[in-house]
Amino acid sequence: MASSSTDAPWSLPELTRARRAIVVVDVVESVRLMQEDEAGFIDRWRRFVHEARTEVLPKHGGRLVKSLGDGMLLEFESVPQAMAAALRLQSLAAHPAPLPLRIGAHVGDVVVDDLDLYGTGVNLAARLATLARPGEVVVSTEVREGLLPRVDVRLQDMGECYVKHLAEPVRAFRIAAPDNEDAPALTLALDDLRPTIAVLPFHADDGVVCADLLTEALTAGLSRTSALNVISRLSSLTLRGRADSLQIAGSTLRADYVLSGRLVHDGSQYTAVAELANARSGAVVWAHSGNASIRGLLAWQCPLVGTLIEGTTRAVVSHVLRRVRGSELPSLETYALLFGGVTLLHRMGRRDFDRAHDLLQAAADRAPRHPSPQAWLAQWHVLRAQQGWVLNPQETAVRARDCAQRALDADPEDSLALTMDALVHVHFLRRLDEAAALYEKAVTVNPNDSQAWLHKGMLHAFRGQAEAGVNDTERALALSPLDPMKYYYDSLAASAAATAGRYERAIELAERSLAVNCLHTSTLRVLALSQTLDGQVDAARATVTRLLTLEPEFTVQRFLARAPGADFEVGQRFARALREAGVPE
């Protein structure tokens, strides 16, 4: 008689679900290598696995899930650790007897036990490995968004790629180790010598969204004081959960001070503990703790926020003196919709872009009195037109103007709303004087609004005011050096550099932008015209081929119809350059 399952002498390992960075390592053409020299291949592989287990994985907090004789499945708790390990494995495999490895990585929710990993994330990591050439690491969008370009890795956007057994293409990125020369160039002579502060994402064991609300309220409040330069919230957000966040804030964000802390849940309230540290020495300059209610955080009416802003400002000013002597979203769901929409907005893949509109519109419907969702919707319409995805420009212009006006109706003094309204005036209405006044008001209201400085610089560039354009766009780069929209900043700064005749700098910025986002057609346009004007006509024609693949209907006349600077000398110069590069008339 067969025994029942309860009588079995063994039991299946316990399963848990967790978010993990999954790395798949595969030896290219392992069958051929085994046939050519079985003993030699086995010896090399065993030595490699030993080094991975004893040196690489312990150092980077990874686990060898399984080794298959010509591949490995690895798991990590964080993306930076996983990528550091992947690059180290490629380095180890390169010598003394090379092993041709290809590596794929994805981050997602998987089912974990002591013996294996299960789930679609594992399959996707394996599929991404097939896109890699020997010696390469290819990762998903989710991994890419957990990395700091030019700090953790160098990136090359591969665009949307089809892989076996998946009906839809996946966005893939090649990564390589950063080098010293690739570090961000962030030096800028600002109008004054104000100290710079970065507000790092507050830590929370639960209530992460409330912690993000507090972080954003502090960033927005500190940005309104004339005593400080404040790094953008989106740049600081990239340092969430990193053990080296203080060091990166000082070395890469160029922050003098860092405000960080934690949020502890206590019934209907949270207790916030904040610390202000000197980014160079790590010494705590000031600390404070206090209570905050969920309702207060949602409404940005929390007294603790005001106390922290005032205390931080006073502490920074006081510390600087000693050295020289010796903002309201009505629900958590809306918050998630808004920032999810902004993230997808700048991926520039068509499906993600269309999804961004749905998310931003949902946020606007839930928060009709808040300017941010409508302001971002206005930019969505502008970017859609710039990508060549508009069939009816007049209708798009009306919708963009309506979104911008709704944002200003919600808050006439909001710098983001002012900036996006100016953007609509530039690209759809061609009222450049009115746009200039709006940009000026935006930077007056918020001197640390990097987007306002960026688009203000572009308006100068459209008008042929070259040096003013370069100064403002470079200032924007300095205020938001690690922004998730960094490709966009680099792209517009490239246009300003091209206007000033600094074609080498324009090409550098455009190529840097395309390495992170190869689907942004505006960047391809500025790269092509800059290459032409720099005498690199063959390279420009190759760039135009890439451009026309993404936007087959693009012509010189379409460029002039879209370009706000078409009536100025610079617009005509750029049109001639595109024509010479092979763009159809």
Query: Which domains does the chain carry?
Result: 16-182 (3.30.70.1230), 196-325 (3.40.50.10070), 475-585 (1.25.40.10)
The residue among 244 and 288 whose pLDDT is bigger is 288
pTM beyond 0.85, yes or no:
no
The residue among 530 and 224 whose pLDDT is bigger is 530
**CB neighbours of residue 335 within 10 Å:** 21
Structure confidence at residue 55 (pLDDT): 94
What secondary structure, in 3-state letters, does 551-580 show? CCCCCHHHHHHHCCCCCCHHHHHHHHHHHH
Of 131-145, 238-252, 424-438, 472-486, the one with minimum mean pLDDT is 238-252
The contacts of residue 356 (CB under 8 Å, 6+ apart) are 341, 342, 343, 344, 345, 347, 380
Model confidence pLDDT, tens digit, residues 76-96: 988 888 999 999 999 999 887
Can you point out the beta strands (E) in 211-256? 229-230
| Contact in structure between 79 and 107 (CB atoms under 8 Å) | yes
Instruction: Give the closest residue to 88 by CA, choosing from 63, 56, 120, 59.
Output: 56
Helix, strand, or coil (residue 70): coil
Q: CA-to-CA distance for 228 and 218, rounded, in angstroms?
A: 13
For 516-545, give the DSSP string: H-TT-HHHHHHHHHHHHHTT-HHHHHHHHH
Local confidence band at 5 (pLDDT 50, 70, 90 cut-offs):
very low
Local confidence band at 324 (pLDDT 50, 70, 90 cut-offs):
very low
In single-letter form, the type of residue at position 295 comes to R
